[in-house]
Amino acid sequence: MEINKEEIKQAGFPFLLMIVGAAMSVLFIVIFSELAEEMLENEINAIDDAIIQRINLIENATLDQIMIFVTELGSVWFLSLCTLAAIIALWVKAKDKLGILFLLIAIGGGGALTKLLKQLFGRGRPSINPEIDAIGYSFPSGHSMGSLIFYGLIAYFIVRSARKPFTKWMTTIVAGFLVVCIGFTRIYLGAHFPSDVLAGHLAGTIWLLITILALEWIKWERANQIKVTRVFKRIINRY
Q: How far, in Å, CA of 39 to CA of 41, rounded?
A: 5
Residue 192 bears catalytic tag: yes
Of the residues 140, 192, 195, 213, only one is catalytic, namely 192
Of the residues 118, 125, 143, 186, only one is catalytic, namely 143
Which residues contact residue 28 at a Cβ distance below 8 angstroms, ignoring those fewer than 6 apart?
A: 202, 205, 206, 209
Residue 143 bears catalytic tag: yes
Contact criterion met (CB below 8 Å) for 139 and 36 = yes
Contact criterion met (CB below 8 Å) for 72 and 178 = no
CA pseudo-torsion sign 170, 176, 179, 181: negative
Alpha helix segments (H runs only) across 41-133: 45-56, 61-71, 76-89, 97-121
CA distances from 184 to 28, 108, 110, 237 (A): 20, 24, 20, 52
Q: Provide the CB-side half-sphere exposure for 173 (13 A, CA).
A: 6
Q: How far, in Å, CA of 52 to CA of 47, rounded?
A: 9
CB atoms within 10 A of CB 82: 16
Classify 40 as helix, strand or coil.
helix
Active site residues: 143, 192
